[in-house]
A = this chain, B = another copy of it.
């Protein structure tokens, strides 16, 4: 319905403004750094031991690195890998690699040499930045240039232009990073993140973690893990301080909490348990927020964290969802409840982030399960918080996106209040100390042992790590192998955290069609527990 009073427009032409670049900027989380460097040039952006760098210094180093990378012939969307602990250089690479037009591949430092080689080859990385401590894990690969942190890295920084170079980004749905995850097929899959997804997830973290202005964030969460849940960009957007950390050392962490005035950190229950039980643990007398992921905190852990004044935000997600996708926090009216009840309520995985689309729990026909807190279904997600797909793997992507939703493989119930609560994993994933272990990958490794006929690996509950893998092994007729031999065989071939804690030699229970009944193996290990995940 148009009136006749319009000026220039005729009835045929649209009264709506044409699109123009004036009204649109591509969402790009690396641009927060330049803003914070302008607003807070003298604020401390990075702390690492004695090292302190201001935002002006961080931005200049990143600019120099960007220009060096570009000068060295980096092409748009080429992969640049990093194998480093949570050191300042890995933070810099989160900003510099995308700004230079590259795609960051931050590799899990706990992987084996073989796994690392596979990721470097599969991603087609042109350049690898590696920490001295981890350099022995890296094999020579044709076409891969290796730059060690330290002298070589600093030379690259020094050679660059402190003013940086213009961004090549034309479309916010271009790839910004690939994060390799242990997959159900046994070989790691490269989860592709976009600029848009990383930007919105970073803002999501600012909001859900209530970073406010100038948080002091301690890097307990590995930065190689879903790009540190986008916190390299989120904390920078908030003008905060990144306190780097080579390894999770509870004594050091308590010292940093106190000396650096830490306000936020993230970690799995395994990390939290180690922290709250350390002799140096004690209330700080100021707010400290911990996002807890991988598994909900137990009543005992929650009680202890509350006692220490740590505000718990329970989150759940996968590598495919840029890390956290749902959030559950204590509501004010829970105060009167006993801690067991609060922990029970908090243990739900909750609701999708402010910046995410609602999650669903569905049956095999992709219909919502009843919200009765009892019927199990698969958790599926979609929206800006979901990866664009797997790198160079259209078939696996298609399977993961079946029916227009990302299939988490996690089984949950849906409560009447809309909160989801995980009950089991449909995928063969074991989560140990916050790290994913593919049971299939472990099975394939054990099966390669000459004495092994077949095997099945399942998760068993573990007080320290949440879950650990246990292998059930059938030996070939006439062959023999000991528990210790199988374990040693695994340790030679797998990241050590993936190796089974227990081996049981036995015949495997099977269906009439010959499929191994993992359920029957797992059940006795979890007897007396309500959930089949920990």
Contact = CB atoms under 8 A, between A and B. Distances in A.
A404 B1 contact: no
A155 interface: no
Interface stretch (A250-258, A264-272, A293-301, A393-401): A393-401
A38 B354 CA distance: 12
Copies of this chain, complex-wide, total 2
A19 B358 contact: no
A7 interface: yes
Interface in A385-408: 386-395, 397, 401, 404-406
Given A3-B143, A25-B383, A124-B1, A38 B351 contact: yes
A122 interface: yes
A175 B24 contact: no
A404 B22 contact: yes
Interface stretch (A10-18, A61-69, A423-431, A499-507): A10-18
A52 interface: no
Contacts of A357: 25
A390 B17 contact: yes
A7 B395 CA distance: 10
Interface residues of A, number: 78
A77 B126 CA distance: 49
A23 B384 contact: yes
A401 B22 contact: yes
A352 B35 contact: yes
A421 to B, nearest CB: 15
Interface stretch (A203-211, A474-482, A523-531): A203-211
A6 interface: yes
A81 interface: no
Nearest to A328: B39
A417 B23 CA distance: 26
A351 B55 CA distance: 16
Nearest to A143: B1
B392 A358 contact: no
Contact of A358 (B35, B197, B332): B35
A17 B192 contact: yes
Contacts of A41: 417
A397 B121 contact: no
Contacts of A17: 192, 387-391, 394, 397
A402 to B, nearest CB: 10
20 contacts: A3-B121, A3-B124, A6-B392, A8-B394, A9-B392, A16-B175, A17-B192, A17-B389, A19-B173, A20-B388, A22-B386, A23-B388, A24-B383, A35-B352, A38-B358, A203-B203, A206-B354, A207-B207, A213-B329, A237-B354
Given A21-B382, A23-B383, A207-B237, 16 more contacts: A1-B126, A2-B124, A3-B124, A3-B143, A6-B392, A7-B395, A8-B392, A9-B393, A15-B124, A18-B389, A23-B173, A23-B194, A24-B196, A25-B357, A39-B418, A41-B417
